[in-house]
Amino acid sequence: RREADAPGVWERIKDHPCYSEEAHHYFARMHVAVAPGCNIQCNYCNRKYDCSNESRPGVVSNRLTPEGAVEKVRDVAARMPQLSVVGVAGPGDGLFQADRTLRTFELLRREMPDLTLCLSTNGLALPDHIDALKALDIGHVTITINYLDPEIGAEIHPWVFHNHRRWRGVEAARILHERQMEGLERATAAGVLVKVNSVLIPGINDDHMAEVNRAVRARGAFLHNVMPLISDPAHGTVFGLDGRRGPTPAELHVVRESLSNDARLMKHCRQCRADAVGMLGEDQCQTVHAGGGCGSA
C-alpha cells in the first residue's frame, strides 16, 4: 500500500530505506558514529563495556570526528551508488554533544547536498535543537519512545541527566517522557518526518504499546517501529543480567497486530549498529545488540 498520504511526503521517503519498505531494496544508508556520550541510561544498554566488544549495545569500532565522518562518507559514496541516507545513530545520543552531530550534518550538507540526513535520538535534548535541525534541513528524525507512564518508564530508564543534574526513578522517567512528547510535537510541527522506535519488553511495556502508538500518532509521528528487546546476558545489560528476555516472534506479532489499524508501522527494521553501512540487513559489520542502533539512541 502507499506509505505516504500527504502531498510531497512520497518524495521524501521514496529513497529512504527505513521510511519506505520498498526503498530498502534499492537504497543504502550509512551511519557515522560521531556521538559517543549519552544523557540517559537504558536497562538494555551497557556503555561500560569495552568498545572492542562488538556485541555491546551501540558499540562501534571507531569514534569519528565530524571531519573524519565526512571523509568516510566521501569514500563510501564513491563506491556505493545506492547510498541515499547518512544518519547519526550513536553510539550514544546524537543530541547529547549536539555540536558534534550538527557540525557533521553541516559539513555533509555543504559537500553532498543530495544526501538525505537522518538523526536518531532518545529525545531528551530534542526540544532544544529543533531550530538548528531545521536550519540544516534535517527532515528525518527518529525518537526512541518506550512508554508514556513514568512508572513503566522507570523500569526501563533508571536515570537521566538533565539541567546539569542527574535525576532518578519515576522523576527521571517523567522528565524524559515530557521532553519526548515536546520534541515529537515540535519536530512534526516544524515539518520533520518523525519515526518513533519502541523497544518491546515483555512484562514491562507490552500491554502499554497500543497506548504509546495512539499517543505518538496523535502527535504526528509518521511511522512507528516496534522492535524486539535483544537481551543476552553476554551483553552485560541490566535486562540481560536480570534474566529479562526479548519477545518471541509470536509475541512481537501479536503486539504489532494490535496496532495494525494504524497503516504506518515499520516492520523491516534490522536494528543496526551505530556504524552500519550498506543496504539494510546486508552490512558487512552488522551485529545485533540490545536496543538496536537507531532503535536505542
Binding site for ligand SF4 (CB under 6 A): 38, 40-42, 45, 47, 57-58, 90, 92-93, 122, 291, 296-297
Which residues, 6 or more positions from 162, have their beta carbon under 8 angstroms from its beta carbon? 39, 124, 172, 175, 179
Closest approach of ligand SF4 to the CB of residue 164, in Å: 18
Q: Given the DSSP bridges, would you call strands 277-278 and 28-31 parallel, antiparallel or unpaired?
A: antiparallel
What residue type is 267 in one-letter code?
K
Closest approach of ligand CLF to the CB of residue 151, in Å: 27
Contact 196, 224 (CB under 8 A): yes
109: Cα within 13 Å, side-chain hemisphere: 15
Stretch that binds ligand CLF, among 122-130, 178-186, 231-239, 268-276 (CB under 6 A): 268-276
Q: In this complex, which beta carbon is closest to ligand CLF, that of residue 166 or of residue 253? A: 253
Closest approach of ligand SF4 to the CB of residue 184, in Å: 16
290 binds ligand CLF (CB under 6 A): no
Nearest CA among 65, 67, 49 for reference residue 57: 49
CA angle 20, 63, 70 (to 5 degrees): 60
Site string for ligand CLF, 98-127 (x = CB under 6 A): --------------------x-x-------
User: Concatenated DSSP letters for 33-67?
Assistant: --B---SEE-TT--TTS-TT-TTSTT--S-PPPHH
270 binds ligand CLF (CB under 6 A): yes
Q: In this complex, which beta carbon is closest to ligand SF4, that of residue 27 or of residue 161? A: 161
Closest approach of ligand CLF to the CB of residue 229, in Å: 14
Which residues, 6 or more positions from 46, have their beta carbon under 8 angstroms from its beta carbon? 56, 57, 235, 236, 237, 238, 290
256 binds ligand CLF (CB under 6 A): no
Q: In this complex, which beta carbon is closest to ligand CLF, that of residue 85 or of residue 154? A: 85
Closest approach of ligand CLF to the CB of residue 159, in Å: 24
Residues that bind ligand CLF in the complex, under the rule CB under 6 A: 18, 29, 31, 85, 87, 89, 118, 120, 142, 195, 225, 269-272, 280, 292-295
